[in-house]
Amino acid sequence: MQVTDKQKRANILSAAAVLFATQAFHKVLLSDVAEKAGVGKGTLYIYFKNKEDLYFSVLLDGFSSLVERIHLQLDETTQGPMENLEQTIREIVRFAFQDRHLFNVMRTLPIGMSIIRERWLEKRRELIDLILSIITQGIKAGVFYDPHPELTAGYIPGLVRSALLNGTDGIDPDVLSRHIIRFVTTALTQSGELKATL
């Protein structure tokens, strides 16, 4: 549990991510994780409490870095809601392509109860809330219209997920970003009003 070596921990996580992404939870052997990470099996238990803890740590870590990246990016450039939404979508898509493994793990099986799982759910919620705040901001500014922004906020990661899951093969990340952005912003934009403001 005490973490002494960040690098080793990272190795374990990334090895685990690959395996969890390609096999179901119950098929992933901790001996394989250890081997792939270049550590002894026992060492896993220094860094993680048990198999489930390792699994959710993979998710939590990945998600945290995504959320952080988005936060940073939004902070450094203060823009209008439209630009912020675009940036965020682009970031999520980028993440999904970059960390394919991790992204695939997310579609595996988050069911059951544990503290670490809760922490993962919180992070997830954080992302949704971030998106929600952008949309709400846009509505207040009169740029967007949406009767249920909390639903729309949830849709956005779902769109990325769907595209990758359905694997319309070898799609270009940029094409996907643009399509999702167009899709979402069009839906959020009332035609008449917006044209007027432009």
Tell me the two tokens of residue 82: 């439209």
Count helices and strands (H / E) in the chain.
10, 0
Helix 149-166 and helix 81-98: axis angle, to 10°? Answer: 30
Contact with a copy of itself (CB under 8 A): which of 128, 136, 137, 173?
128
Rounded to the nearest angstrom, the gap between the alpha carbon of residue 85 and the centroid of all alpha carbons in its chain is 15
Contacts of residue 144, Cβ cutoff 8 Å, sequence gap at least 6:
81, 135, 138, 188, 189
The one of a copy of itself, DNA, none whose footprint includes residue 140, by CB under 5 to 8 A per kind, is none
The one of a copy of itself, DNA, none whose footprint includes residue 179, by CB under 5 to 8 A per kind, is a copy of itself
For DNA, the closer of residues 29 and 165 by Cβ is 29
Using rule CB under 8 A, residue 150 touches a copy of itself: yes
The residues in 45-64 that bind a copy of itself, with binding defined as CB under 8 A, are none
**Which residues in this chain contact DNA in the complex, by CB under 7 A?**
3-5, 8, 26-31, 34-35, 38-43, 45-47, 50-52
Distance in angstroms (rounded) separating the CA atoms of residues 62 and 50: 19
∠ Cα 135 160 127 (to 5°): 45
Which of the stretches 15-23, 41-49, 61-69, 133-141 binds a copy of itself when contact is defined by CB under 8 A? 15-23
Contact with a copy of itself (CB under 8 A): which of 11, 65, 87, 108?
108
Using rule CB under 8 A, residue 79 touches a copy of itself: no
Tell me the two tokens of residue 172: 């270009």
